[in-house]
Chains A and B, each alone.
Chain A
Amino acid sequence: MSCSNVTMLVSSKPSLPDASNLSFRSAFNPFQLPSQNSSSSCTPSRPTSIQCGLRELRNRIDSVKNTQKITEAMKLVAAAKVRRAQEAVVNGRPFSQTLVEVLYSINEQLQTDDIEAPLTKLRPVKKVALVVCTGDRGLCGGFNNAILKKAEARIAELKGLGLEYTVISVGKKGNSYFTRRPYIPVDRFLEGGSLPTAKEAQTIADDVFSLFVSEEVDKVELLYTKFVSLVKSDPIIHTLLPLSPKGEICDINGNCVDAAEDELFRLTTKEGKLTVERDAIRSKTVDFSPILQFEQDPVQILDALLPLYLNSQILRALQESLASELAARMSAMSSAYDNAVELKKDLSRVYNRQRQAKITGEILEIVAGADALI
């Protein structure tokens, strides 16, 4: 029983575990004294009350204390990493902003031309590639499960439509999940590092690019967890390829806008608590020289720009996914920490009560013995 409590506590997920821990606590009656004072073994007959000997209690208190320390440390580490993830987003800002500017100015000039680039080609869809971004580690609540469930749902949907599919798995958790399910065709396993960089995004982009250009797949979808706030993140599906020239090139209000209306999440402390501020940044499109000449064909220029756009989209998804993972871990660990504190309090109360009862019993015995001697 002691073990089961500890594991339950560690694997606590923000939604489920609270309920189970609560039920444990409510069933436990703090005013109930253990019936046998010196019983050395836990009695399994009543699984919800704490009925252990003094030594077991001491052990349990120690182990809960350890768990508490570990979870607190993990929470702090996650909080520090969220800050680093946010820095990475800030560093990538000048690039994405300029990219949007350039796409905008080029789009203005190409509006009249009929352009066809390989990345924007719409083909009848026969096979779909799903890029699934998961985390590298567990202990972050329902984060990995949520995205994998979303992937499963999408796979079932594609099956229902009679389409073929293949999976590109990013992150250790996803890799182990898909290796355990050999019936899901996986194109490639990739591992995300501690902080997503352009190199990782490039690897994914190369893979996706070659799959699409060689016409092995006709559509690429990106499944990742969108960072909404520290306590909320949504697994979403985002169509990566084909890039629609309508949304992105011809009409700036379409696809391009999500890059222009970039949101910046910022971790701040408000009254001693961590909070997230999101700033919506509307990048203004600078008037660029109207007599811009194109060195190459507009098609070639688009060819050069679209992979950049693809890359920055993937990088962004990876960064959001990491931020959500860290936020999920932070909240999971903070609830685990709270549970550990609560459990420790309950356990030490029972421990003290038992100790006192034992001492009282011993004094009674001594007094009775002394009485008998007289």
Chain B
Amino acid sequence: MTLNLCVLTPNRIVWDSEVKEIILSTNSGQIGVLKNHAPIATSLDIGILRIRLNDRWLTMALMGGFARIGNNEITILVNDAERGSDINPQEAQQTLQIAEANLNKAEGKRQTIEANLALRRARTRVEAINMIS
């Protein structure tokens, strides 16, 4: 019995194949999932997904969503997912700086909510790149 991972976004299937191990960043901290994990449902924060294929680790930036684990099937539903290797480092760094500036400028409850979300997304993308190197 092998562990199968399926990462779905509204646009496409990002990942659908066998993995050895994954580390998810959930709302209540990181959890590692190995074969024959107990069935759980968890919400995912904006954060990094780490995937182990044999001896290689891959990272993926997830933009918040939901994961369902059971029966050696992991289904991850997210708004957007990007592989660390697909992200342009310069662009990501720039977006992070813009997001930080926006948060400092933000006025009122609504703008703060928006700026915070944008900042966390930008930060995750930068982290996803840095994990590889």
Binding site for B on A (CB under 8 A): 88, 91-92, 94-96, 98-99, 102, 106, 197-199, 201-202, 206-207, 209-211, 213-214, 216, 288-289, 291-296, 300-301, 303-305, 307-308, 311-312, 315
- Is there an interface contact between A308 and B65, defined as CB atoms closer than 8 Å? yes
Distance between A184 CB and nearest chain B CB, rounded to angstroms = 20
From the candidates B8, B38, B40, B68, name the one contacting A95 in the complex (CB within 8 A): B8
Q: List 17 A-B contacts (CB under 8 A).
A: A92-B11, A95-B11, A106-B41, A198-B11, A201-B10, A210-B114, A214-B109, A214-B113, A289-B39, A289-B71, A292-B41, A293-B38, A295-B26, A295-B27, A296-B27, A301-B66, A311-B10
Question: B28's contact among A288, A293, A296, by CB below 8 Å, is which?
Answer: A296
**Additional 8 contacts, C-beta under 8 A, given A198-B11, A211-B110, A301-B43:** A92-B10, A102-B68, A198-B80, A199-B80, A288-B39, A288-B70, A301-B66, A308-B79
Say yes or no for B44: interface residue by CB 8 A criterion. yes
Task: Check: B93 CB closer than 8 A to any chain A CB.
Answer: no
Q: Is B13 among interface residues, defined by CB-CB distance under 8 A?
A: yes
Is A293 in contact with B41, judged by CB distance below 8 angstroms? yes
In the complex, how many angstroms separate the beta carbon of A339 from the nearest chain B beta carbon? Answer: 39
Question: Which residues of the other chain, B, contact A214 by a CB distance below 8 angstroms?
Answer: 108-110, 113
**Chain B residues with a Cβ closer than 8 Å to the other chain, count:** 36
In the complex, the answer to whether B9 meets A95 with C-beta atoms within 8 Å is yes
CB contacts (< 8 Å) of B40 on chain A: these are 292-295
Contact A304 B8 (CB under 8 A): no
Residues A304 and B10 in contact, CB atoms below 8 Å apart: no
B73-125 CB contacts (< 8 Å) to partner A: 75, 77-80, 108-111, 113-114, 117
Contact of A98 among B8, B42, B64, B70 (CB under 8 A): B8
Q: Is B12 an interface residue (CB 8 A)?
A: yes
Bound complex: CA of A292 vs CA of B69, how far in Å?
9
Cβ distance B51 to chain A, nearest Cβ, rounded Å: 19
Q: How far is the CB of B68 from chain A (nearest CB, A)?
A: 6
In the A-B complex, the 3 residue pairs with the closest CB atoms: A304-B43, A295-B42, A214-B110
- Bound Cα distance A224, B44 (Å): 30
Q: Please, how many angstroms separate the alpha-carbon atoms of A289 and B80 in the complex?
A: 27
Shortest distance between the CB of B82 and any CB in chain A (Å): 11
Question: Could you tell me if A88 and B11 are in contact, using CB atoms closer than 8 angstroms?
Answer: yes
A-side binding surface: helix, strand, loop or mixed?
helix
* CB-CB nearest in chain B for A205: B79
Which residues of chain B are near A292, meaning CB under 8 Å?
39-41, 68, 70
CB distance B117 to A206 under 8 Å?
yes
Q: What 1/0 mask marks residues of chain B from 8 to 46 whose CB sits below 8 Å from any chain A CB? A: 111111000000000000111001000000111111100
Q: Which residues of the partner chain B approach A303 to less than 8 Å between Cβ atoms?
A: 43
In the complex, chain B residues whose CB is within 8 Å of the CB of A288: 39, 68, 70
Compute how far the CA of A289 lies from the CA of B108 in the bound complex, rounded to whole angstroms.
44
> Which residues from chain B sit less than 8 Å from chain A, CB to CB?
8-13, 26-28, 31, 38-44, 63-66, 68, 70-71, 75, 77-80, 108-111, 113-114, 117
- Residues of B contacting A95 in the complex (Cβ-Cβ under 8 angstroms): 8-11, 77
A197 contacts B11, C-beta separation under 8 Å: yes
**How many Å from the CB of B11 to the closest CB on chain A?**
5
Chain A residue numbers with a CB within 8 Å of B117 are 206
Determine the distance from Cα of A99 to Cα of B40 in the docked complex, in whole angstroms.
Answer: 16
Q: Which residues of B have CB within 8 Å of A199?
A: 80
| Alpha-carbon separation in the docked complex, A88 to B9 (Å) | 12
Contact indicator A301/B70 (Cβ below 8 Å): no
Residues of chain A contacted by B42 (CB below 8 angstroms): 294-296, 301
Closest CB in chain A relative to B123 CB, distance in Å: 16
Pairwise interchain contact B43-A210, C-beta atoms closer than 8 A: no
For B26, list chain A residues within 8 Å (CB): 295-296
Shortest distance between the CB of B5 and any CB in chain A (Å): 13
Give the distance to chain B from A351, nearest Cβ to Cβ, in Å. 53
Question: A213: shortest Cβ distance to chain B, in Å?
Answer: 6
Min CB–CB distance B117 → chain A (angstroms) = 6
Most central of A98, A288, A291, A304 by chain B CB within 10 Å: A304
Closest to B26 in A: A295
Cβ–Cβ < 8 Å partners of A293 in chain B: 38-41
- Nearest-neighbor residue (CB-CB) of A298 within chain B: B41
For the complex, give the distance between the alpha carbons of A94 and B64 in Å: 18
**Contact: B77 with A295, CB < 8 Å?**
no
The interface residues of chain B lying within 8 Å CB-to-CB of A315 are 10
Residue contact A295 to B70, C-beta cutoff 8 Å? no
Chain A residue with Cβ nearest B116:
A210
Cβ contacts under 8 Å, B11 to chain A? 88, 91-92, 95, 197-198
Nearest B residue to A209 via CB reads B113
